[in-house]
Amino acid sequence: MTIDDARPREAFGLLNKVPEITIWFWVIKILCTTVGETFADWINEKLGLGLTNTTILMTVLLVAALVAQFRSRRYVPGVYWLTVVLISVVGTLVTDNLTDGLGVSLVVSTVVFGVALTLTFLAWYKSEGTLSIHSITTPRREAFYWLTILFTFALGTAVGDLVAEKLSVGYWQSALLWGGLIALVAALHYVAHVNAVLTFWAAYILTRPLGASIGDFLSQPRHDGGLGLGPTVTSIIFLGAILGVVVYLTVSGIDRDPAPAEQLHA
């Protein structure tokens, strides 16, 4: 079964709305997932907004970022990665609301978000005939894409907390576990030549619990198995790193679709 879309992008009148997959994509993705874990804690706890107010605030900001992203006719690094950061935070908050607010177990959350993600993939493929991120050239495909991203963050938060905390694996041990699984997926793609779309999404999902484990390890108190940097310092470090990489990508353009610029006027 072929998942790649062979139809030319010119037929849609839009350039691809997501970045090319380079090493910088994975670096900034992991940075964003780490911020999603620590920044939500910082707003909720350190600013004293509470879980509900934090969720409302970040959801409003996410909607504004999505509006800007959907209105753009091409990939813009600042807009795209701001949206990823915000959807990472909101995805974390969705799981936190279920766990802390409604008392839903992490096992149930993991199953629910796993099913939701699977159904989203199925609906996306049935509607578009492709799951390739190299074909995000219509509003409907972009809607499927961002819904998928939201569920990957919510699922990753649930399964990451389940493994690190409820199963008592520990934060840095969990980071090694998720990193090892990502390395395995990479080997399956580059050595065993497993389908690129399948391995991309597998790696994408696994980066969420990896980033969450790294964030928790850096921010959580030492008596809980962390380094005790706190959510404020950890968030500042990673937000600064994200800003630096986004500026580099904006200036260099190395992660932009190489399709000719005249397609913008198609």
Ramachandran assignment for 230, one of left (phi > 0), alpha (psi -120 to 50 degrees), beta (any other):
left
Closest CA to 29 of 250, 216, 200: 200
- Tell me: pLDDT of 54 over 80: yes
44's tokens? 């909720």
pLDDT band at 7 (very low <50, low <70, confident <90, very high): very low
Paired tokens of 40: 């939500």
Question: What is the rounded average pLDDT of the residues 35-54?
Answer: 80
Q: Above 80 in pLDDT, residue 221?
A: yes
CA neighbours within 13 Å on the CB side: how many for 250? 13
Higher-confidence residue of 114 and 220: namely: 114
Tell me what pLDDT residue 261 has.
Answer: 42
Q: Tell me the mean pLDDT in the region 199-205.
A: 95
Of residues 152 and 259, which shows the higher confidence score? 152
**Torsion of Cα atoms, 184 then 189 then 191 then 192, to 10°:** 100
Question: What's the half-sphere exposure (Cβ side, CA atoms, 13 Å) at 13?
Answer: 3
The residue written with tokens 């934090």 in the block is 54
d(CA 125, CA 129): 5
Nearest to 86 by CA among 116, 48, 60: 60
Please, which residues have CB within 8 angstroms of residue 184's CB and are 6 or more apart in sequence? none
The CB-based long-range contact list for 23-27 (8 Å cut-off, 24+ gap) reads: 24/245, 24/248, 24/249, 24/254, 24/255, 25/255, 26/203, 26/207, 27/245
What's the confidence (pLDDT) of residue 156? 87
| Residue in this structure with the two tokens 């009148």, named with its chain if needed | 13
pLDDT band at residue 15, thresholds of 50, 70 and 90?
low
Statement: residue 266 has pLDDT above 50: no
Q: Determine the pLDDT at residue 257.
A: 66
Q: Given this model, what pLDDT does residue 17 score?
A: 87
Question: How does residue 48 score in pLDDT terms, banded at 50, 70 and 90?
Answer: confident
- pLDDT, mean of residues 82-92: 93
